[in-house]
Structure 1
């Protein structure tokens, strides 16, 4: 009897969780939580497999003015492609904010989205994020194209893409910080 009752309640609990995934008010927080639970620190690409970003020509919109990624050539750069409606994107934002808080004056950060400025600004204000958000109106260079979000690139001063991570990650890990420190120290 106990076994049957336990199976019954387990089935009910799974059904309730499944239903909550389809209710808009509960769906996003549950998906973000799931993404946070399975977000691991990104790993460095093997040196012999690292590609060099050869074309930095990418126009982005910051606030009301245009900028070009060319300004980051020769600098350590982190580029994150994301959206406010993407649970894995939202899940990794706190760790990205922490890295930005630590390295914002040493690393060029680009948080790139194709959403409307009003939507993005409201999201950033609500969450208290201060990272620089750029709107994408043009295709990125070929080496930065991806089919999924979030996708994040960490690029060294020499233009080598040392990390390319698709999906949520813990960017505030000791290993990621060590990689950033190593890139900053490189000549």
Structure 2
């Protein structure tokens, strides 16, 4: 009696994995799972300094042009790791777009993903986002800003110190964040 029950459980489990990873329903399920695991933003350690080695990190923009993280050196930086399948990422994206619309000429925005360019381009066109998107490989991300959670966002001051770091969806267009950016820009 145990054997058929175990076999049935294994079959259901394998079908579930197949749906999760290999069907059009998969991204919706992954987004839902992301919302369950990331209900609220969680503050991470701040006041850590970005190392000189981290500025060697290489990114690629949506046109395929290479950019070094060194371009952000000496600037206030808004760095966000995101994905199109990540529900909490999608939840905070309109706030980030609004913040970028107001601060994009003063703050260096880096929205970093590891997804396929065509998928990201289609997403950006559909949503009409004008955010500066960059691509990277997991192995290239500097250790002090690498995260296994999405979204993860860092705000760096001009000296490269982490002024704010959070994982999970957050209100990035709120008065608290704007006041912080104004303060960091004035320093």
Q: Is TM-score (shorter-chain normalized) higher than 0.5?
A: yes
How far apart are 1:44 and its partner, in Å? 9.0
Query: For 2:180, what is the secondary structure of its paired residue?
Result: helix
Superposition TM-score, scaled by structure 2 size: 0.76
**TM-score when normalising by structure 1:** 0.76
**CA displacement at 1:94 relative to structure 2:** 0.5
User: 1:102-153, CA deviations, whole angstroms, 9 ceiling, x for partnerless residues?
Assistant: 1000000011000011000000110111001101135211111111111001
**Which 4+ runs in 1 deviate beyond 2 A?**
22-25, 42-45
CA deviation digits over 1:61-103, x for unaligned, max 9?
1122110010110100011000000101111100000110010
Number of equivalences: 160
Q: Contact 1:57 / 1:69 at 8 angstroms: preserved in 2? A: yes
Question: 1:60 is matched with which residue?
Answer: 59
Cα-Cα RMSD: 2.8
The residue matched to 2:55 in structure 1 has which SS? coil
Match of 1:162?
Answer: 163
CA contact (8 A) 1:39 1:92 kept: no
Contact between 1:39 and 1:170, CA under 8 Å: does it hold in 2?
Answer: no
Alpha-carbon deviation of 1:31?
4.0
Distance 1:125 1:116 in 2: 15
Distance across 1 between alignment mates of 2:186 and 2:141: 27
Cα 1:53–1:150, aligned 2, differ >3 Å: closer, same or farther? same
The change in CA–CA distance for 1:140 and 1:181 in structure 2 (over 3 A counts) is same
Looking at structure 2, the residues matched to 169 and 126 of structure 1 have their Cα atoms a distance apart, in angstroms, of: 22
- Structure 2 gaps of 5+ residues are 1-19
Measure the CA separation in 2 of the matches of 1:184 and 1:104: 12
Which residues of 2 match residues 71-150 of structure 1 at below 5 A?
71-137=71-137, 138-150=139-151
Deviates more, 1:95-104 or 1:130-139: 130-139
Unaligned residue ranges in structure 1 (runs of 5+): 1-21
